[in-house]
């Protein structure tokens, strides 16, 4: 079921201006009377309606009749059928995997995080992302975030001229030394030299992380840039598939990985990516496509279960919208995302909101 919902505040960055989001809601029904729910969430490229067609035309016929408790077996069947190289196809698969884990948790009367190994922490620390804007607006958003309990803010950078440096400097003065600042360039630069020239001056203001300054495929250039920067390098767009983790490690291109539940293909796939990073001695955090409450719950289950969550994650999507598709969205308070404790994903679908937000 494709949905569309406006954002309270547009996200403006290198890749454009997003003032609304398009999602998909996946419903998987079983002959045991248990229904599982999942969410398709992508902000760029192929969106809800196209990805819902992936589910209807490719994934659903593949898993129809299989045991939904065999999540790994269903994943293998989907891998063999769906061209996961297609832009965004992992997000379609993620919606289905969420629904299958929701079913399994409900069948066993246990939260999904216990299916992923149980708690490594009680809650997930989160950061507040701030879009491009003038210096005054950026500072105002940072102050509001800190007043709300966030201890880390994320600034979008990548603009020509001095505005990024002015914004980072002004935010540092406004929030003080105790609040962390990370910056995200969203692939804005075309060479390691250009990226270094733009980013090195920002390091004077004590950055926590620098995220994805170059294009995804430029891993050797990213490795060179990493060797010159004092701030740890976080890779996002370079880490959209499980196989990317090994290549990033082999090239020495990152200090930290940004792992998405949606882009990796689901909670179990994201858990595997964290484990692969841990095996290589890396930490990771959870990325966000500004999910609604359903997929945010899935992210929370992953976030409390993985051992090597090293920094604040970006999973604050429910705060970006005027309404939600679940009656009990996960609580985000004082800079933390709290995991739902009910069976499965632990949230209850609001079918009235789903119908009201349907598009296409």
For residues 182 and 127, state if they share a domain.
Answer: yes
Q: How far apart are CA 29 and CA 329, in angstroms?
A: 22
Q: How far apart are CA 139 and CA 156, in angstroms?
A: 13
Q: How far is it, in rounded angstroms, from Cα 9 to Cα 156?
A: 14
Three state DSSP letters for 102-152 = HHHHHHHCCEHHHHCCCCCCCEEEECEEECCCCHHHHHHHHHHHHHCCCCE
Q: Is 147 found in the same domain as 57? A: no
Per-residue pLDDT at 13 exceeds 80: no
User: Are residues 170 and 52 part of one domain?
Assistant: no
Contact between 126 and 335 under an 8 Å Cβ cutoff? The reply is yes
Looking at the fold, whether 298 and 203 belong to one and the same domain comes out as: yes
Per DSSP, the three-state class of 285 is strand
CA–CA separation, 73 vs 94, rounded Å?
Answer: 15
Residues 284 and 261 in one domain: yes
pLDDT of 48 strictly over 90: no
Q: Nearest CA to 211 among 190, 194, 231?
A: 231
Lowest pLDDT segment from 49-58, 254-263, 313-322, 344-353: 49-58
- Give me the half-sphere count of Cα atoms (radius 13 Å) on the Cβ side of residue 200: 11
pLDDT digits (tens, 9 = 90+) for 176-188: 999 999 999 999 9
Residues 22 and 163 in one domain: no
The pLDDT value recorded for residue 83 is 61
129: CB partners within 8 A, 6+ apart: 11, 153, 154, 156, 184, 288, 314, 316
- 15 pLDDT above the threshold of 90: no
Q: Where are the alpha helices (DSSP H) in 280-335?
A: 293-305
Q: How far apart are CA 164 and CA 176, in angstroms?
A: 18
Q: With 0-12 CB in 10 A as exposed, 13-18 as middle and 19+ as buried, what is 250?
A: exposed
Helix (H) or strand (E) holding 202: none
Residue 303 CA: distances (Å) to CA of 125, 270, 327, 344: 9, 10, 21, 15
Same-domain pairing of 84 and 209: no
The 10s digit of each residue's pLDDT in 59-102 is: 999 999 999 999 999 998 888 777 654 556 889 999 999 999 99
Residue 10: the pLDDT is 77
Specify the CATH number for the domain of residue 157: 3.20.20.120
The CATH number that applies at residue 79 is 3.30.390.10
Query: Do 69 and 201 fall within a single domain?
Result: no
Mean pLDDT value across the chain: 94
As beta bridge partners, residue 349 has: 326
pLDDT tens sequence across 17-37: 788 899 999 999 999 999 999
Are residues 76 and 123 part of one domain?
A: no
Does 105 lie in the same domain as 127?
A: no
Distance between CA 1 and CA 30 in Å, rounded?
18
Domain limits for position 69 = 2-109+352-357
Binned at pLDDT 50, 70 and 90, residue 246 comes out as very high
9 and 45: one domain? yes
Residue 284, CB-side half-sphere exposure with 13 Å CA sphere: 31
Per-residue pLDDT at 19: 83
**Model confidence over 146-168: pLDDT tens digits?**
999 999 999 999 999 999 999 99
Number of domains in the chain: 2
Grade residue 11 by pLDDT with cuts at 50, 70 and 90: confident
Residues 151 and 220 in one domain: yes
Average pLDDT over residues 132-154: 97
């Amino acid at each position: 079921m494709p949905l569309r919902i406006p954002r309270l505040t547009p996200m403006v960055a290198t890749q454009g201006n997003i003032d609304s989001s398009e999602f998909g809601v996946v419903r998987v029904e079983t002959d045991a009377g248990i229904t599982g729910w999942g969410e398709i969430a992508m902000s760029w490229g192929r969106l809800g309606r196209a990805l819902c067609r992936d589910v209807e035309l490719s994934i659903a016929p593949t898993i129809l009749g299989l045991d939904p408790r065999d999540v790994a077996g269903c994943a293998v069947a989907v891998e063999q059928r769906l061209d996961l190289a297609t832009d965004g196809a992992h997000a379609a698969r993620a919606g289905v995997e969420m629904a299958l884990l929701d079913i399994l948790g409900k069948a066993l009367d246990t939260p999904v995080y216990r299916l992923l190994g149980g708690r490594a922490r009680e809650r997930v620390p989160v950061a507040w992302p701030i879009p491009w804007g003038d210096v005054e607006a950026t500072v105002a958003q940072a102050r509001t975030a800190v007043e709300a309990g966030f201890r880390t803010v994320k600034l979008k950078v990548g603009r020509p001229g001095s505005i990024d440096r002015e914004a980072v400097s002004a935010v540092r003065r406004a929030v003080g030394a105790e609040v962390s600042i990370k910056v995200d360039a969203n692939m804005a630069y075309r060479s390691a030299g250009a990226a270094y020239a733009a980013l090195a001056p920002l390091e004077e203001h004590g950055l926590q992380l620098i995220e994805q300054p170059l294009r995804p495929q430029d891993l050797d250039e990213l490795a060179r840039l990493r060797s010159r920067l004092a701030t740890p390098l976080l890779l996002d767009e370079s880490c959209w598939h499980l196989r990317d983790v090994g290549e990033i490690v082999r090239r020495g291109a990152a200090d930290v990985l940004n792992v998405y539940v949606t882009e990796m293909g689901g909670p179990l796939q994201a858990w595997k990516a964290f484990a692969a990073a841990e095996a290589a001695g890396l930490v990771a955090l959870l990325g966000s496509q500004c999910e609604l409450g359903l997929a945010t719950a899935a992210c929370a289950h992953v976030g409390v279960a993985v051992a090597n969550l090293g920094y604040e994650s970006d999973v604050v999507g429910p705060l970006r919208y005027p309404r939600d598709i679940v009656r009990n969205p996960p609580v985000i308070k004082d800079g933390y995302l709290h995991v739902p404790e009910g069976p499965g994903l632990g949230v209850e679908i609001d079918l009235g909101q789903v119908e009201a937000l349907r598009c296409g």
